[in-house]
Amino acid sequence: MGCLGALLFLLGGLGALAQICEITEVDSTLVERLGQRLLPWMDRLSPEQLNPSIYVGLRLSSLQAGAKEAHYLHSLKLSYQQSLLSNDNSDSEAKPSMGQLALYLLALRANCEFVGGRKGGRLVSQLKRFLEDEKGAIGHNHQGHPHTSYYQYGLGILALCVHQKRVHDSVVGKLLYAVEYEQHLQQDHFPVDTLAMAGLAFSCLELSNLNPNQRNRITVALGRVQEKILKAQTPEGHFGNVYSTPLALQLLMASLRPTVELGTACRKAKAALLASLQHKAFQNPLVISQLLPILNQRSYVDLISPDCQAPRVLLEPATETPSQTQVPELIHVTLKVSSIFPSYRHSVSVPVGSSLEDVLKKAQEHSRFRYGTQASLSGPYLTSVMGKKAGEREFWQLLRAPNTPLLQGIADYRPRDGEAIELRLVGW
């Protein structure tokens, strides 16, 4: 064999070793049960409960909700256009956030719609203004922080990109800088879901070539994001934690950089996800809507050119089993708050399967316990406990004995019988 032939053989062998990220051959019954958990959320049509992510997740999945799905999109359009396009600024808190507007634009694209016309132009302008405001908050020297988060910043860029709307190089540059010099920012590291969202935005920009002057930086940043996410894989197989894994897999599945490590990591993550599915770990509609696409080999990047004619299985509501109609068994959870004086400790009884949020509500009904929350894209989080509010660089941490931080939020975590949960105000 000549030198050229040997070289080609070697390169072919190396190419064969490189693998893409695939999540295939998942039990269709598990997928259907996961989709069924979204159906009750699609009956909640009040403006504060409408969630565009649910529609996006279903459209990118192998499942459909039939007439309910179409009605949900209609409700989204009525609500978002009324609140976002209204000239009434008297109730600005009721208007959707930057992240919610971005998800709404993703929902339109999931239905193969491009924003256009006067109304569509106003929506695009609003999202671009949001991003410009966030860019200003970060500052010229990158010493500031977005008013919302880098997660929502990346989501906003992604939403405009799939609609082929270009944002200024300086807007993209802020997100690139955050990934390039993450260690210089006033935080230890980005959460995996934030890295994944930034990576999805970069993937869309790379494929669409909307910012050619930033192309080299985008390519390098994508490689760095992929490397960081792979390094964040736990021994169990999750990227960061079980709830950030779906979005991380979306990014890895969209990757144009196949490697041996990538294929191995994705197989390990698939095994961890299947175990979590069998244990019914996924209840939050946002996380479910991020998970359903990867079980159909799709990601948000596919919204660049969505396939709206792909066949999808019609979801039927889950049938109620006899055990579900019986009187629920109770568990006992001890709630502790150590960051106040005097400290608080109280035992609460709730049905098996209740969330930590259910425990907090029950405690508020039957004791002096009080708390406040704020909605976010990943679910509600605590803003105050017993009248004590979290400051600008503080948050209420959730811990279970012995002194172990919870990875889930109050709406997702299911306490066990006899467990003690502590709420602690900490700085960051």
**Phi-psi label, residue 171: left if phi above 0, alpha if psi -120 to 50, beta otherwise:** alpha
Residue 274 is assigned to a ligand binding site: no
Does residue 397 have a known ligand-binding role?
yes
Q: What Å distances lie between residue 397 and 146, 381, 402, 423, CA to CA?
A: 22, 10, 14, 6
Residue 310 DSSP class: S
Q: What is d(CA 113, CA 196) in angstroms, rounded to the nearest whole number?
A: 25
Neighbours of 189 (CB within 10 A): 12
The annotation status of 64 as a binding-site residue, yes or no, is no
Q: What does the angle CA 9 – CA 11 – CA 14 come to, to the nearest 5 degrees?
A: 110
241 labelled as ligand-binding? yes
**Is 249 annotated in some ligand binding site?**
no
* Residue 355 is labelled as binding a ligand: no
Listed residue (258, 170, 147, 159) closest to 200, CA to CA: 159
The verdict on whether residue 62 carries a ligand-binding annotation is: no
Q: Is 382 known as a binding-site position?
A: yes
Residue 53 is labelled as binding a ligand: no
* Paired tokens of 34: 């996961």
Phi, psi of 384, deg, nearest 5:
-150, 150
Q: 406: annotated binding-site residue?
A: yes
Q: What gap in Å lies between CA 162 and CA 154, rounded to an integer? A: 13
Residue 284 annotated as part of some ligand binding site: no
133 is in an annotated binding site: no
Report yes or no: 331 and 58 within 8 Å, Cβ to Cβ. Answer: no
Alpha-carbon 197 to chain mean position: 8
Judge whether 41 is annotated as a binding position.
no
Q: Tokens for 232?
A: 């964040």
Q: Is residue 195 a known part of a binding site?
A: no
Whether residue 412 is annotated as binding a ligand: the answer is no
Contact of 178 with 190, CB cutoff 8 Å: yes
What is the rounded CA–CA span in Å between residue 28 and residue 382? 36
Non-local CB neighbours of 285 within 8 Å, separated by 6+ positions:
37, 38, 41, 51, 53, 54
* Spatial contact of 348 and 356, defined as CB atoms under 8 Å apart: no
Annotated binding-site ranges for cyanocob(III)alamin? 148-152, 193, 241, 290, 381-382, 396-398, 406, 428
Annotated binding-site ranges? 148-152, 193, 241, 290, 381-382, 396-398, 406, 428
